[in-house]
Amino acid sequence: MRQIDVHKLSDKAEFNGFHKLVLFWCALVIIFDGYDLAVAGIALPSIMKSMGVNAASAGFMVSSALFGMMFGNILFGTLADRIGRRWVVAICIALFSVFTAAAGFTNDPIVFSVARFVAGVGIGGVMPNVVAQMTEYSPLRIRSTLVTLMFSGYSVGGILAALVGKGLIESYGWQSVFIAAGLPVLLIPLILKSFPESMPFLIKKGRIEELKRIVSRMQPSYQPQMSDRFALPSEDKADSAPIRHLFHEGRGFSTVMFWLAFLLCLFMVYGLSSWLTKLMASAGYSLGSALTFVLVLNFGAMIGAVAGGWLADRFHIRYVLAGMYVVAAASIALLGHKMPTEALFLLVGLAGASTIGTQIVNLAYAGQFYPMAVRSTGLGWALGVGRIGAILAPIVIGVLVGMAMPLQQNFMAIAIPALIAAIAISLIDHSRSGSAHHEDVASSLPDPIPAGAGAAQVAPGLPGTGV
């Protein structure tokens, strides 16, 4: 009988076609997610004019989706650890596609807000699950890079919304960019067929043959045998109350610091995403020029996410994040000052890299911090609590815009949270993370497929293997 540690197999696997497939589907889902979330900010000036709402009311309309995301993060992040990620991802795609499209068929602020709330539940629900999926199936040595590369699809979605949005809004009205968001629902059958299920979930449900097929694709040198038994480290075994594991084994304080960092980072992200177009338009730029700033913001986010992930695989991810927050504070604070357009574009790009990009690296860190079996729960709760900042940002900045505050003060209100978040992320106790445990274990264990063995083995007596 062979005892096989799937965590160890995943950690030491070589990047191959299976990993590319997981990366493709996760990134594609996040692109859809990013588009659905960005369309409200892109269309905001046109929506305000069409529905006759003021800035404060528009802020509440935008926040309806973010409020839904808070529920989606917590509900579907926890639910996935119970019913599996594949079905949860499919349900979430159906929700955000159908109800974002539905928002395009109304001209009533209340109906619009309700449709965006339900869409937000789907948008929020899919995020922790694709991050958990990519983290679970990524080789340890390039894990941060792959997670941030995958989640940079969020910025691709934002860029797509800005590019498509300008032409569609000018030609067909703001409703068209929402209706176009319904197309991803057509891909649900393909996703259900191609998206691999979580390994701890398969072990828990006794679906061992399905697990063997996945493991042999993830690690081609593994040859399934009838006598194989699959094990998880003790901290990766979930029970009926996965939420309490977020506070076990010394993780409580760090969990709260993650929540605070997520809240403040998402305040900055959604403050910029929701109001950058309007703020730049009020500063004298045309709608086309203001939308260009959104493109630059999301392009910068892509660079920041990938660069941050690359740095995190080479240096301590916690210090990389703290540095990114400091850059965010400086770049956003400077946005409210007069300067040449070229310099302004550079600052907007830096702001995107150090806010949206930083949040993506945040997700990579949180995904590595929590044990595999409660990873979706940990990410879901961090994002769920973080949505408080996302909900507040459009409303707070909307009130400031309505008060005709100076441009500098609007941007300063978005910049200050970055400094507090830098402190919070620096206080996280990395020694309590699941990744620290597995880094130690991975460095002390032999290769998962010993030469001539033809299969994975776990050395007897090792802590946490259950052998």
**Do the domain assignments include residue 198?**
no
CATH number of 54's domain:
1.20.1250.20
From CA 27, how far away is CA 156, in angstroms rounded? 9
pTM above 0.75, yes or no: no
Task: Go through 270-291 and write b for each residue having 16 or more CB atoms within 10 A of its CB, e for each that does not.
Answer: bbbbbbbbbbbbbeebeeeebb
**Do the domain assignments include residue 342?**
yes
Number of domains in the chain: 1
**Do the domain assignments include residue 430?**
yes
Residue range 281-332, pLDDT digits in tens: 666 665 566 667 777 887 888 888 888 888 888 888 888 889 999 999 988 8
Cβ pair 91, 423 in contact under 8 A: no
Residue range 160-209, pLDDT digits in tens: 887 787 778 877 878 888 888 888 889 899 988 888 888 878 887 878 88
**Do the domain assignments include residue 459?**
no
Residues shown for the chain: 467
**Do the domain assignments include residue 7?**
yes
**Do the domain assignments include residue 466?**
no
**Do the domain assignments include residue 206?**
no
- Amino acid symbol at 401: V
From CA 352, how far away is CA 365, in angstroms rounded? 19
Predicted confidence band of residue 214 (pLDDT cuts 50, 70, 90): confident
From CA 467, how far away is CA 453, in angstroms rounded? 18
Residue range 61-84, pLDDT digits in tens: 777 887 888 788 778 867 877 788
Host domain of residue 287: 3-190+240-444
Structure tokens at 447: 């290769």
**Do the domain assignments include residue 220?**
no
